[in-house]
Amino acid sequence: MELLIAPSILSADFANLQSDIEMVNRSNADWFHIDIMDGVFVPNISFGFPVLKSIGQLARKPLDVHLMIIEPDRYLERFRDYGADILSVHYEACTHLHRTVGKIKELGMKAGVVLNPHTPVHLLEDIIRDVDLVLLMAVNPGYGGQKFIENTYEKISALKELITGKSSKALIEIDGGVTLENAPKLVMAGADVLVAGHTVFSSGNPEQTISLLKSIKLTGDVNP
């Protein structure tokens, strides 16, 4: 499968959001990664529905929405209405995860489950066939530009094994601390989708950085 790239809008210039969204539209990126934080599940607040709606109106690629909020069930329908194509909820925030995943799919979105760095992948063995995507956090969620946690490589391998063993079609997405240096190794370990915030938006040429990420082949090389 081809590698998918999802630039994280959290690191975009919020005073010039339109131009950053248009840059992603023009680029080789596949999805927009949108981080929603409530200041309770994570120690930071990002943005809410009005901003998401504006992004949705300008974006010409699927919106990959990552909910870092408690009680996500209260808002699933609204996220669909505001343009989410893929909706991911945290394992740690859902008491009835199977029900939540079912509801997301019923609403016509792809369903993802997110694991914090300390949450082992084996906890997904009874839900892995029901999800379209597993998002592995490679940093503690809440902020962009943090340092990548090395244990993530082992988690990718364990998740890949679980997915294959259970004949699941779930994609493996990696979020947090992804760089041009570690991206080839993440792909080699089995990542299907890479989120990148700081790496893309703090680079001199974000569009070219997206192309460099997109060009990573299974050989582990970055091919400009």
- Minimum distance from residue 39 beta carbon to ligand DX5 (Å): 13
| Separation of alpha carbons 221 and 75, rounded Å | 41
Decide if 139 contacts 147 (C-beta within 8 A). Answer: yes
Binder among 115, 175, 201, 213 for Zn ion (CB under 5 A): 175
If binding is defined by CB under 5 A, does position 35 make contact with Zn ion? yes
| Separation of alpha carbons 93 and 126, rounded Å | 17
- In the three-class reduction of DSSP (H, G, I as helix; E, B as strand; rest coil), residue 131 is classed as coil
- For ligand DX5, the binding residues in 40-69 under the rule CB under 6 A are 66
Residue among 132 and 175 whose Cβ is closer to ligand DX5: 175
* Binding partner of residue 177 among Zn ion, ligand DX5, none, CB cut-off 5 to 8 Å per kind: ligand DX5
Binder among 66, 90, 155, 198 for Zn ion (CB under 5 A): 66
Residue among 166 and 222 whose Cβ is closer to ligand DX5: 222
Our answer to whether residue 81 is catalytic in this structure is no
Picking from 67, 64, 46, 57, the residue whose alpha carbon sits closest to that of residue 18 is 57
* Binding partner of residue 34 among Zn ion, ligand DX5, none, CB cut-off 5 to 8 Å per kind: none
Our answer to whether residue 64 is catalytic in this structure is no
- For Zn ion, the binding residues in 187-206 under the rule CB under 5 A are none
| Separation of alpha carbons 80 and 68, rounded Å | 16
Longest dimension (CA), the chain: 46
Decide if 6 contacts 195 (C-beta within 8 A). Answer: yes
Footprint of Zn ion (CB under 5 A): 35, 66, 175
